[in-house]
Structure 1
Amino acid sequence: MFPKPTLVVSKCLGFEACRYNGQALSDSFVSQLTSYVEFIPVCPEVEIGLGVPRSPIRLARVEKKLHLYQPATEQVLTDAMADFSTACLDALPQVDGFLLKNRSPSCGPSDVKVYEGLAKSANAKRGSGFFAGCAGDRFPGLPMEDEGRLKNYELREQFLIRVYSLARFRQAKKSGRMRDLVAFHSTHKLLLLAWNQTRFRACGKITANHEKRPVAAVFALYEEELKKALATRPRAPSMINTLMHAFGWVSDGLSREERAYFLESLEEYRDERIPLAALLRLIKGYAVRFDQEYLLDQVILEPFPTTLVKLSDSGKGR
């Protein structure tokens, strides 16, 4: 049974026609997620009083300070957006990530134009939207992606693995029982090993709790380390080594042809011709066949609902 991650999402991504031009957007991945996550839709621009439709706004850096500016009206909206961002983020329940509108001057996590000054002809660099930047500062380590990057299947898989892992940890933390943290770490061993071996070992030491810290302190330390572990993209060699480690638990029972097929599939994954989910399904099938309890307990074999596996890929974001 999978937990329901809680995600903050840009309201314009299928929830309300609140884009600056009054248009409604539809994103297939966001629509697909609706039954599997708890969404908290937000539109910072509407919340600070801008209408629909409205004149576009832009980010501008003036004397090293970031401002939000509406050229058509010459309104400086910096303070209003800063106040809203603080109030909104402080009022959130525990969340597992952010799925925001790409290139939005308020919501874009990255690839947002930041102009060098208020002049219309000013040069622009790339950065984060105002609200997204505040969210990143307020919730360091939480997954934050835009719908554009998530059209890439590798980034989409990694985003889902991260938010579902954090949702599972949130459940364990809510219990306040040390045995639930031990169980979490035990079932996430291969996943953490694939993601970051150094952080995996650190999580293991925290769970062992040789210092006899209070349970709340152990959970806090583990959460910090877990977010750091999942924040970096897993390197292909590390993931492949972990897959081979998992395969070692079942390979003795396979025929020569079956072993060869798995190794061929591994090379296809290495060359980015098939997604990680395809290999995980193979290994899980072997684990079911041989009733391999250790593997069947490992979250990495099915880290999120398989119905969310989608093979379409824009090719962008790699």
Structure 2
Amino acid sequence: MAALGAQDPNRILQSRLVILKLAPVIMRKFEKPTVVVSHCLGFEAVRYNGAIINDDFVERLKGYVKFVTVCPEVEIGLGVPREPVRIVEIKGRRRLIQPATGLDLTEKMERFSEKFLKSLPEVDGFIMKSRSPSSGIKDVKIYSGKEKSPAIGKGPGFFGGEILEMFPGTAIEDEGRLLNLRIREHFLTRIFALAALRKVVGSGTIGKLVAFHTANKLLLMSASQKEMRLLGKIVANHEKRKFIDVGNDYDIHFRAALARPIRESANVNMLMHAFGYFSDKLSSNEKKHFLDLLEKYRNRRLPLAALTGIMHSWIIRFDEPYLAGQTFFELYPEELTELHDSGKGRDI
């Protein structure tokens, strides 16, 4: 069997698409995550300068997620275009100020943020405008004065900060960070896993929760063995607790397990574990090719999808039922896989 694009990651992913589309199996059906997104990211020209930001990743997500859009600055009555706002530290407290008009919009933004976020349905993720004084989730400049003055620090915006406070364990990112391949893979993994869990918990059925846990065993083993063991005890429910309590506890610890990107070394170990199912059925060239690609992934020269794609093709080829039921090999829709990487934020 010829090696699939041994030197070209794009060819590897293209080959995966062909294999999986032709395979005589039913592909995993994904629940649509609900994602709150900044309205200026490809939906409408509501930026302070009247611009719209066309974001490729947000555009690609359309059709795969349910978007809820918001522009906090417009929602509190500021027009388009409008004079920019900034965060200013005054007497030890951060205020949202519009320097050109002198308006202090702090209380108005705080009231809107709390009301809007409490009104949301269950959500699985947020994509906010990076570095926005209202929507930014980190790296928003904080100034020492209303007029021209140096930045004295960084932090979340007013609306973004409220998101972080009210939605712990939820996938929360900005469009700038999502240019990074590792962060993007992690975000996609979380929103589709959380959407699936939300449906299971909503069913009120312990059998469905057990099936969910079983299907995510390899993912959890890679993400956090500590949380995986806790989740196993929760779902076993030896205390015979009510499902609502079991479901709530499971949700908390599942989110904790996926809170940070999975280390490459943990994914490598899991891939090697799965490789053991097929090692005696593969040619020496196939084995060498896979191990070479594994080393490239370890060195962050390939995305995880390139490896799970090959593994998925072997699962189909050799009809391995246990691995076929594991989400680890198909964490999110194939069409959302891409290789573009800004190279930023690699250590978070």
Question: How high is the TM-score relative to the length of structure 2?
Answer: 0.89
One-letter amino acid of the structure 2 residue matched with residue 233 of structure 1: P
Alignment of 1:72-221 (within 5 A): 72-221=100-249
Q: CA deviation at 1:62?
A: 2.5
Question: Residue 99 of structure 1 aligns to a residue in which SS?
Answer: strand
Q: Give structure 2 stretches of 5+ with no counterpart.
A: 1-28
2: distance between equivalents of 1:252 and 1:149?
41
Residue of structure 2 in register with 1:20 after alignment = 48
2:294 to 266, 273, 295: 266
Structure 1 stretch 75-84 or stretch 194-203: which is displaced more?
A: 194-203
CA spacing shift, 1:184–1:22, aligned 2, 3 Å: same
Give the equivalent residue in structure 1 for 2:345.
317
Residue 69 of structure 1 aligns to a residue whose secondary structure is: strand
Q: Helix, strand or coil for the counterpart of 1:150? A: helix
By how many angstroms is 1:119 displaced? 4.8
Residue type at the aligned position of 2:319? D
1:231 aligned onto 2:259: yes
Number of aligned residues: 318
What SS class does the counterpart of residue 253 from structure 1 fall into? coil
AA of the residue aligned to 1:80: K
Post-superposition Cα deviations, 1:241-285, rounded to whole Å, max 9, x if no partner, equal 111112222222112221111111110001111100000001111
Kept in 2: contact 1:102–1:110 (CA 8 A)? yes
Q: How far apart are 1:107 and its partner, in Å?
A: 0.8
Structure number with greater CO (CA < 8 Å, separation at least 6) is 2
SS at match of 1:131: helix
- The residue correspondences of 1:225-304 to structure 2 (distance < 5 A) are 225-304=253-332
1:31 corresponds in structure 2 to: 59
Contact in 2 for aligned 1:62/1:118 (Cα 8 Å): no
Give the alignment's TM-score, normalised by structure 1.
Answer: 0.98
More displaced stretch, 265-274 vs 64-73: 64-73
Q: Tell me if the contact between 1:250 and 1:292 (Cα under 8 Å) persists in the aligned partners.
A: no
Shift of 1:125: 1.2
Is contact 1:9-1:100 (8 Å) kept?
yes
Which of 38, 44, 62 is the matching residue for 2:72?
A: 44
Give unpaired runs (5+ residues) of structure 1: none
Could you tell me how far apart the structure 2 residues matched to 1:241 and 1:313 are? 24
Question: For 2:225 and 2:265, how far apart are their aligned partners in 1?
Answer: 12
Distance 2:194 2:57 in 1: 20
Deviates more, 1:111-120 or 1:83-92: 111-120
**Contact preservation (8 Å) 2:141, 2:151:** no
SS in 2 for 1:85: helix
The alignment's C-alpha RMSD in Å is: 1.1
Give the 4+ runs in structure 1 shifted more than 6 A.
none
Matched residues in 2 for 1:199 and 1:134: separation?
27
C-alpha distance in 1, partners of 2:278/2:144?
Answer: 58
Identify if the C-alpha distance between structure 1 residues 117 and 209 changes in structure 2 by more than 3 Å, giving closer, same or farther: farther
CA positional deviation for 1:213: 1.2
2:135 touches 2:157 (CA, 8 Å); kept in 1? Answer: yes
Provide the rounded CA distance (Å) in 1 between the counterparts of 2:316 and 2:234: 31
